[in-house]
Homo-oligomer: A and B are copies of this chain.
Amino acid sequence: MAGTGRNGDTKVVTLSDVARLAGVSVATASKALNGRSQVAARTRARVEAAAEQLSFVPNRMAQGLLAGRTGTVGLLTSDLQGRFVIPILMGAEDAFGAGRVSVFLCDAREDTIREQHHLQALLSRRVDGLIVVGSRTDPRSTLGHDIPVPVVYVYAPSDDAGDLSLVPDNVAAGRIAVEHLVACGRRKIAHVSGDPGYAAALDRGVGVGEGLDAAGLKLVGDSMYADWSERWGRDASAVLLDRHPDIDAIVCGSDQIARGALDAVRDRGRVVPDDVAVIGFDNWEPMVEGSRPELTSIDPNLELLGRAAAQRVFAALDGDELGDGVHLQAPRLVIRGSTVPRS
């Protein structure tokens, strides 16, 4: 705990410094600090004291050089907003254990060249594994198979079936949304979704259809697709509500669209959830908790996705088969005021 200097001027202390202070060889110092048995208790104590005094931290680069493992993982993303990548990062940290594994986060910004640069950088740093996070659930091009470490694709699957991809189950999400509305006694259900160029929009739509079929219901009006904005949610809901005044629930393709829908319902002097229930997707906290009333939403369980990805990478390092194909993560319904009256 000496440290009185300014940051950066203290010289880095190595194992030989510790060994010298303790009056032993580096070999013995190493064994003492790593709990090896070939060292006397008194010597061990002396070494530990020396290490403490110098606040020695072993150089993991050097360790990695020997071990062939660096204890690092690369997280390669194009998720500008950090909306998906942060929960995934947290899940990965949980799975790895804080401090045991460190994560390189690289933002490719949807740019293939930049992605290649980052990939080279990560490989040159000898990461033990790679997690690739997309910003949408559509398939993305594979990084290829000549990568010397296990790769897991998360959120956006790889377009190569030989790769392992973990993605949210959007079909199930749509189904669950409808099942919840039906359980709440709704029968006249409409659907406003986002950009039809996104697989997420279409998949959720499919799930909505399945849910309705299972309940013997038919969608009120057509599914509306355009973009993910609140404005669109507002406008589309307005059209639907005007054309079909008997609507008693709206399934929205995202929380933002749902907020627009809430506005549209209120503008028409109708009450959420008494007259019309509204449900969103993503369970994005600032959106769902800020709205009036708070928004019921389907949470894609991104932390679990991240954790699963990390576990897969870990297992592959221990020699397990990495696996392949697209694996679906079940979503989770989070009920709030927009579908159920405050009672």
Contacts and interface: CB of A to CB of B under 8 A. Distances in A.
B61 A89 contact: no
Nearest to A128: B8
Interface stretch (A15-23, A143-151, A187-195, A327-335): A143-151
A328 B275 CA distance: 50
A104 B60 CA distance: 14
Interface string A186-230: 000000000000000000000000000000000000000000011
Contacts of A81: 82, 86, 285-286
A4 interface: yes
Interface in A84-130: 85-86, 89-90, 93, 98-100, 102-107, 109, 114, 117-118, 120-126
Contact of A126 (B4, B12, B68, B149): B12
A146 B98 contact: no
A65 B163 CA distance: 34
Interface stretch (A28-36, A173-181, A287-295): A287-295
A40 interface: no
Contacts of A150: 7-8
* Copies of this chain, tallied across the complex: 2
Contact of A59 (B120, B126, B230): B126
B72 A89 contact: no
Interface string A45-68: 000000000010111111011001
Of A81, A259, A322, most B-chain CB atoms within 10 Å: A81
A44 interface: no
Contact of A322 (B6, B70, B90, B124): B6
B123 A57 contact: yes
A87 B263 CA distance: 30
A146 B61 contact: no
Contact of A146 (B1, B65, B263): B1
Contact of A103 (B106, B149, B316): B106
Interface string A146-177: 11111100000000001100000000000000
Interface of A: 1-8, 10-12, 55, 57-62, 64-65, 68, 70, 72, 75, 80-83, 85-86, 89-90, 93, 98-100, 102-107, 109, 114, 117-118, 120-126, 144-151, 162-163, 229-231, 234, 256, 259-260, 263, 285-287, 289-292, 316, 322
24 contacts: A3-B145, A4-B146, A5-B145, A7-B145, A7-B148, A12-B68, A57-B120, A57-B123, A60-B126, A61-B61, A61-B64, A61-B65, A61-B70, A81-B286, A82-B82, A90-B109, A93-B107, A102-B125, A103-B105, A104-B105, A231-B290, A234-B292, A256-B290, A286-B286
